Amino acid sequence: MAELQFREAIKHAIDEEMGRDENVFIMGEEVAEYNGAYKVTEGLLDKYGFRRVIDTPISELGFAGLGVGAAMHGLRPIVEFMTFNFAVLAADQIINHATKVKYMTGGQADCPIVFRGPNASAGQLGATHSVAYDSMYAQFPGLKVIYVSEPDDAKGLMKSAIRDDNPVLFMESEQMYGLKGEVSEEEDYIIPIGKGKIKREGSDVTIIAHGKMYHVAVQAAAQLAKDGVEAEIIDPRTVKPLDLPLIIESIKKTNRCVVVDEAHPFAGFAAEIGYLIQREAFDYLDAPVLRVTLPDVNAPFSKKLFDTWFPSPKQVIDAVKQVTYRN
C-alpha cells in the first residue's frame, strides 16, 4: 500500500491507462498547461504531449460531443468537467447522444467515454456550483455512474471506467482531492464497476453512504460507537449498477437502515435504495428506512445557512437513533 492523495490516485489511474493504451486521451478546461484546475492532471502534458492532453475552450457542449464522436471512432476519451455543475451544458451530449447512439444504430457504434470531474458542493460556492448530479444521471439507461469516496476506490474504479466500453460518469469532489489514503500497489489494480464495499462492520444499523457523504457517515459512526451503537457502513461506490446484494445482506443482519445522500430528496439515490430494501428485505426490517439528504432548497451562500443546508453527522446520528428506537 502507498499513501496517496485522492487527486494523485486518480492521476495514477489515468497515467497508467494512457501508458497502456494510446487511444486514451484527456481533454477539458485547464487540464494541460495549467496542470488542471484542481491539479488532477498535473504532469500529464509533460509526459504525453499536446496530442493527448488537450486544453479546451469553455465549450462544454462542444467538447463533450466531440468526445462522443471521437469515442465512436475508436478513441477512448476522458472528458474532464471543471465540475459536474458545468456538465449540465453538455447534458444533451451525455443523455441524448452518448447513452443512445449504440442503441439507435442497432449496435453499429460504440461509445467508450469517461466523463469525469467533481460533483456536488464544495463549500460556499453558491446555488449554481453545488448540485449533486449522480442520482439524476443514474435515471438514464445506458450510463454507468460512479461517485467514489476514497483514494483507493478512485484508483481502481477509474481504471475500470477507462477500460469500460460504455459511457461512464466518474464523480469526484473538490473537497476530497487533498484527502490521503492507502492505495493498493498491486500491479494493474482494478476494482470492478458495480461492486460496493463494507467499510465498517457493525450489527446495529446499516448506513449507506457514498461520495462525500461517506465521510459524514464515518464521523457519525464514530460518535455512535461511543454510545454503544455499532453501525455498518456500506459504500456502494458505484451508484449504477448498484450492488444490491451487498446491501440486502447487511440489512438482514442489522434490520435497520439509514441512507445518506448528497442529492435533494425527491426521487434520488436514497429514495431508490429505500424502495429496493422494502422490496427485497421487507420481512427483515425492524424500522422504516430513513434517509438524510440535502433539503429541497437551493444551496445558500452564507456560511451559517450553508452549514445548515449540508447534511451533518448529527442528522445521521439522529436518524440512527430513530431507527434503533433510542430517542
Catalytic residues: 60, 129
What does the block give as the cell for 300?
445558500
Each residue of 79-105: b (16+ CB within 10 Å) or e? bbbbbbbebbebbebbbebbbebbeee
SS3 168: strand
Should residue 37 be labelled a site residue for another protein when binding is judged by CB under 8 A? yes
What distance in Å separates the CA atoms of residue 64 and residue 100, rounded to the nearest whole number?
14
Closer CB to another protein, 191 or 257, in the complex:
257
Among the listed residues 47, 59, 182, 186, the single contact to another protein using CB under 8 A: 59
- The letter for the amino acid at 98 is A
Residue 86 binds to another protein (criterion: CB under 8 A):
yes
Which of 58, 103, 192, 201 touches another protein by CB under 8 A?
A: 58
Using CB under 6 A as the binding rule, whether residue 80 contacts ligand TPP is answered as no
Q: Is 86 in the site for ligand TPP (CB under 6 A)?
A: yes
x/- string (CB under 6 A) for ligand TPP, residues 7-46? ----------------------x-----------------
Judged by beta carbon, residue 119 or residue 254, the one nearer ligand TPP is: 119
Check residue 61 for interaction with ligand TPP (CB under 6 A): no
Please state, in angstroms and rounded to a whole number, the distance separating the CA atoms of residues 205 and 153.
23
Cβ atoms 205, 320 nearer than 8 A:
yes
Alpha-carbon dihedral sign for residues 160, 162, 164, 166: positive
Q: Which three cell numbers stand for residue 270?
A: 436514497
Cell numbers for 142, please give them.
Answer: 445506458
| Nearest distance in Å: CB 62, another protein | 7
Q: How far apart are CA 318 and CA 136, in angstroms?
A: 27
Q: Which is nearer to ligand TPP, 17 or 29 (CB)?
A: 29
Those residues whose C-beta lies under 8 Å from the C-beta of residue 226, and which sit 6 or more positions away, are none
When asked if residue 82 is in the footprint of ligand TPP (CB under 6 A), the reply is yes
Q: Can you tell me which of 42, 55, 230, 318 binds another protein, judged by CB under 8 A?
A: 55
Counting contacts by CB under 8 A, is residue 61 touching another protein?
Answer: yes
Nearest of 110, 117, 44, 46 to residue 79 by alpha carbon: 117
Out of 127, 178, 186, 314, the only residue in the binding site for another protein (CB under 8 A) is: 127
Q: Note whether 303 binds another protein by CB under 8 A.
A: yes
Q: Which residues bind another protein (CB under 8 A)?
A: 27, 29-30, 32-34, 37, 49-51, 54-59, 61-62, 85-86, 89, 123-129, 264-266, 295-298, 300-305, 308-309
Q: Which residues bind ligand TPP (CB under 6 A)?
A: 29, 58, 60, 82, 86, 89
